[in-house]
Structure 1
Amino acid sequence: MTDTSAGPAAAQIPHQRAEPLLETAVRYADERRWDVVAGSWLETVDGMVFCSCGDEECPAPGAHPTRPDWASLATRSVRAVRAMWQRRPTASILLPTGHTFDALSVPESAGLLALARMKRMGLIPGPVIRTADARTQFFVLPGGGAKTPDLLRRLGWYPPSLDLAFLGEGRYVAAPPSRVGTRGAAQWASPPTLANRWLPDAEEVVPALAYACARDR
């Protein structure tokens, strides 16, 4: 496992802390050393909520990149992060995957079952996001997502039969408290703390996730 915090100075990011998006983005960059980039935002017109991209059929309103080169703009610089959200205070917080961490995504019900199972087994998961689209995203060491299909096969599972996806290079997660249209906000099912500053490898969480996905079918 690897340490993705800033060491002893890294404080716990409280569960659902009520603070401006700017300050939350700064905390992710400064305390966890995660790359951060500002995404789209929500606009309200005549009582209706729309994505800043202008697409009325936007699949992730208010929570997606705003330009093709978005990944190159991701940064851990507190000054740069502050500048992003000073320009657009309501922008969503996007964390690129594939560099500091990968994310394993499963249905929310399966993810919560897996978390409970890990707790009973004495395992400490990394941070876990509960998305506005009823998914859970488990942070693992970078590169863990790509080897997940082989891990599943070795465990006796047929990967396409399980609703278990991975987010790696070129993908991202919308970090709490980013909102997705009227669906609600992303939340922490397992918040970033000093206890989970060491991210697990995929091998440590895939068995519990596979079991929970199979039970959830």
Structure 2
Amino acid sequence: MEETVPGTEAAQIPRQRGASLLEAAVRYAEERHWDVFPGTWLEAARGVQRCSCGATACAAPGAHPARADWAAQATGSATVARRMWQKQPTASVLLPTGRTFDAIDVPETAGFLALARMERMGLTPGPVTQAPDRRMRFLVLPGAAAKVPDLAGRLGWSPSGLDLRACGEGAYVAAPPTRCGAWGAAVQWACPPTSANRWLPDVEELIPALAYACGRER
């Protein structure tokens, strides 16, 4: 039986466990109106997971665009998404940033510290992914990439001194249940998409907790 994230409406976004990549891609487009596009995937070779791109030193095995025109390929149509993953069922599910959301990329330890701080502050984060590279991506309203340096500076932090990166136009994030990395572990939701976080926060709401957590990690 398929596991679903409680609290979402109608066709629920499935959890990473037991959900197919095709199902997840279709539901991201259908429920959240997020653009999606298929990326590379992992292939077993001599007991080792390698990226389908063929590069022996791939920087993001199984989780990067498979085509140079990926930005034009990304679609918000569930019908088109279904067709793309039917052609390649093992393709990673990638979400372009700079459209319906930007993403704030931080180390995993800083991300959990920031989530705990947000809870104490009464803030509701948007969806947050937790990836095998031990990084977390906080989804926020578009435009965050342009705001982060100034916001961090106003809080007394040097943006170059923080391990915090804003992903905007021209970038992307891997979504659950994509499997990537040398061990083929799955991207997961640290904070899953629900009806409660359908409206994404502005980066201004989250940056104090995120900058503080990254500063502590530094």
Using structure 1 for the length normalisation, give the TM-score. Answer: 0.93
Identical columns (%): 64
**Which residue is equivalent to 1:192?**
193
Report runs of 4+ in structure 1 exceeding 6 Å deviation.
none
Please say if residues 11 and 194 of structure 1, whose CA atoms lie closer than 8 Å, have aligned partners that are also in contact. no
Aligned partners of 2:11, 2:205: CA distance in 1, in Å?
25
Aligned partners of 1:14, 1:48: CA distance in 2, in Å?
28
Aligned partners of 2:102, 2:170: CA distance in 1, in Å?
10
Deviation at 1:106, TM superposition (A): 0.7
Aligned to 1:62, the other structure's residue is in SS state: coil
**Which residue is equivalent to 1:170?**
170
Measured against aligned partners, the alpha-carbon deviations of 1:122-161 in whole angstroms (never above 9, x if no partner) come to 1100000111100111001000122100001111111111
**Which residue is equivalent to 1:121?**
121
Measured against aligned partners, the alpha-carbon deviations of 1:15-70 in whole angstroms (never above 9, x if no partner) come to 43421110011110100000000000111123222111110111111110011100
Q: What amino acid sits opposite 2:154 in the alignment?
A: R
Please say if residues 126 and 198 of structure 1, whose CA atoms lie closer than 8 Å, have aligned partners that are also in contact. yes
Please say if residues 20 and 177 of structure 2, whose CA atoms lie closer than 8 Å, have aligned partners that are also in contact. no
Deviation at 1:13, TM superposition (A): 2.8
1:71 matched to 2:71: yes
Aligned partners of 2:198, 2:76: CA distance in 1, in Å?
16
Aligned to 1:113, the other structure's residue is in SS state: helix
Aligned to 1:195, the other structure's residue is in SS state: helix
Aligned partners of 2:9, 2:133: CA distance in 1, in Å?
33
Q: What amino acid sits opposite 2:68 in the alignment?
A: P
- Structure 1 residues 30-179: aligned runs within 5 Å: 30-179=30-179
Please say if residues 14 and 191 of structure 1, whose CA atoms lie closer than 8 Å, have aligned partners that are also in contact. no
**Which residue is equivalent to 1:206?**
207
Aligned partners of 1:139, 1:78: CA distance in 2, in Å?
21
Aligned length: 210
Deviation at 1:204, TM superposition (A): 0.4
**Which residue is equivalent to 1:4?**
none
- Bigger mean CA deviation after superposition, 182-191 or 145-154: 182-191
Aligned partners of 2:84, 2:92: CA distance in 1, in Å?
11
Aligned partners of 1:207, 1:79: CA distance in 2, in Å?
40
Aligned partners of 2:170, 2:9: CA distance in 1, in Å?
30
Measured against aligned partners, the alpha-carbon deviations of 1:72-128 in whole angstroms (never above 9, x if no partner) come to 010111111111111111100000000110000111000000001111111100000
Aligned partners of 1:11, 1:146: CA distance in 2, in Å?
34
Where does structure 2 lack aligned partners over 5 or more consecutive residues? 1-7
